[in-house]
Amino acid sequence: MATTLYEQIADDLRRRILSGDLAVGDDVPSEGELAEQWRTSRGPIRNALAALRSEGLVETRRGRPARVVARKAHHPVDVSIPFTKWVRDVGGEPGARTQEISLRRADDDKAQALGIRPGDLVVDVVRLRLVDGRPTMLERLTFIEEVGRVLFDVDLDTVSITEYLDSRGFGYDDIDHEIDAVAADELDAELLDVEPGTPILRLHRVTRGRDGRTFEASDDRYRSDIVRFTVAASGRARQGDHFIRAIGT
Amino acid sequence: MATTLYEQIADDLRRRILSGDLAVGDDVPSEGELAEQWRTSRGPIRNALAALRSEGLVETRRGRPARVVARKAHHPVDVSIPFTKWVRDVGGEPGARTQEISLRRADDDKAQALGIRPGDLVVDVVRLRLVDGRPTMLERLTFIEEVGRVLFDVDLDTVSITEYLDSRGFGYDDIDHEIDAVAADELDAELLDVEPGTPILRLHRVTRGRDGRTFEASDDRYRSDIVRFTVAASGRARQGDHFIRAIGT
DNA sequence: AAGTGGTCTAGACCACGCC
DNA sequence: GCGTGGTCTAGACCACTTG
């Protein structure tokens, strides 16, 4: 899958860290050694390490080799990682209970978010997401028609929408998120099994495809007692230094 | 101030973008042109552009010059930017009303967060932060003694703690954040002027200095109706591609 | 003092956007 | 087809950490 050299190097190092071959506190081989092992120059090595740094797996400092970082509580995961993959990574069993999938016309808000005209067809999905059978997140997804139509072909309770769309050629290029806190409304409360008014962590997402067109807008509501988001930022504006991760508790 | 070449280049481009010299939708000069103008190679140019990309100021695509990106609603600001600077950037008037500053012994939670022993001295600060006179955020800060002591010398209602500490040699190297949603407690409600139980966006911060030591832990509570956090992530694990920004509404 | 990462140079080839 | 950014090569010097 990894097409570029630095992605292969990053994948290999990631695998060694996650398998425990490289333990927390261990030094990653120096850039020089890695370059020799991969018979390459330092460029791709540095790109691979930048990716791992941005994922919070290693920290680097001038003068000493990159070091494997203590994983924050409960396996931090990049917020751009699909829910399904995130839950599996933290050792949980992901689940989904689809409440609704419908083809309808976009109202003004949705049209604006997706960059289409009000009245254009969109596909709405409402799905409750579970971790080990426990209600964790309620997602309201809206897709442009072309993309959303293919969702009628699959069982949304068992399929990862992100992975499925990727397999159908709708991979994402980048995502904008907005995070705020809202009170649980009646539907949130019922499905997430909390009292109405409970503070909910809301993540509003807009996803663009590789052609630059927005194809998905979503509103994910997380139980804040189960999920938090973590962010790390460096004071230096170097390569790959800002990132965000979500953690489950 | 910028010591490295790529920081100078990034500063110059950032200034040109923020001043409107490079407008939204405009192409940034190509990497080749920039390299020629600065009489350098493409390396530093690419590092500078990676920084701007991570700040959400430009977007890049293979085959096309970098393009200045539409600023998201209300001037997004990196969450690692101090509150004071963030408010000024969005055109507001920052304010602070210090509720308390005290030297006391750390309890277990604070000691753990700061990496010190329970009973070690710490400095606690509770400050209400205002935007145009309106209560916006309540911060509870805890500093290790060495750093916190210098705060007794200044008027915390008018001074930016981050900027002041930086001037005293306590610049930060990196920061970890955790974001969740909580219900406003009695103090939150009174000072932020909301009903108790209102959903509050909480940002828990741990700041490390350039020597790697943790010197500050904080708990910032934002009125979620005023402040949201925004995040952008790219699907490709390249240089500088994950970042977070806070926006005011 | 030796080794390391951070930065920089000066090239190169390829995939992609645009004309 | 041409120019562009994405990737890669093979060096170099310096600041910093470590022994």
Question: In terms of CATH, what superfamily is B77-230?
Answer: Chorismate lyase-like (3.40.1410.10)
Q: Which residues are in reach of strand C, CB within 7 A?
A: A 28, 30-33, 42, 46, 49, 60-66, 236, 238-239; B 4-6, 39-44, 47, 61-64
Just give the CATH number of A77-229: 3.40.1410.10
pLDDT tens-digit profile of B171-222? 776 667 788 899 999 999 999 999 999 999 998 888 887 677 888 999 999 9
Phi, psi of B117 (to 5 degrees): -90, 145
pLDDT band at A174 (very low <50, low <70, confident <90, very high): low
Q: Is the dihedral of CA A184, A190, A192, A194 positive or negative?
A: positive
Q: Which residue of A has its CA nearest to B178?
A: A230
Contacts of A198 in chain B (CB under 8 A): 183
CB–CB of A130/A97 below 8 Å?
yes
pLDDT tens-digit profile of A120-171? 999 999 999 998 888 999 999 999 998 999 999 999 998 888 888 878 878 7
A185 contacts chain B (CB < 8 A): no
**Architecture, CATH, for domain B5-71:** Orthogonal Bundle (1.10)
- Strands B64-68 and B58-61 turn out to be antiparallel
Work out the average pLDDT over B139-154: 93
pTM of the entire predicted model? 0.71
* Partner residue facing A176 (CB), from B174, B230, B239: B230
B172 contacts chain A (CB < 8 A): yes
A145 contacts chain B (CB < 8 A): no
B224 contacts chain A (CB < 8 A): yes
Cβ of residue B39 near strand D, that is under 7 Å? no
Long-range contacts: B99-108, Cβ < 8 Å, 24+? Answer: B99/B126, B99/B127, B99/B128, B99/B191, B100/B124, B100/B125, B100/B126, B101/B125, B101/B126, B101/B151, B101/B152, B101/B156, B103/B145, B103/B148, B103/B149, B103/B152, B106/B142
Work out the average pLDDT over B139-168: 89
Structure tokens at B56: 């959400």
pLDDT tens-digit profile of B17-28? 888 899 888 999
| Positions on chain D within 7 A of a protein C-beta | 3-12, 15-18
CB–CB of A194/A188 below 8 Å?
yes
Tell me which of B75 and A78 has the higher pLDDT. Answer: A78
**pLDDT value, residue A77:** 41
Q: Residue A92 above 80 pLDDT? A: no
The answer to whether A173 contacts B79, with C-beta atoms less than 8 Å apart, is no
The domain segmentation of chain B, as residue ranges, is: 5-71, 77-230
Cβ of residue B61 near strand D, that is under 7 Å? yes
* Partner residue facing B177 (CB), from A47, A200, A230: A230
Q: Please list, residue by residue across B153-165, b when 16 or more beta carbons sit within 10 angstroms of its beta carbon and e when fewer do.
A: eeebeebbbbeeb
Distance A234 CA to D14 C1' (A): 22
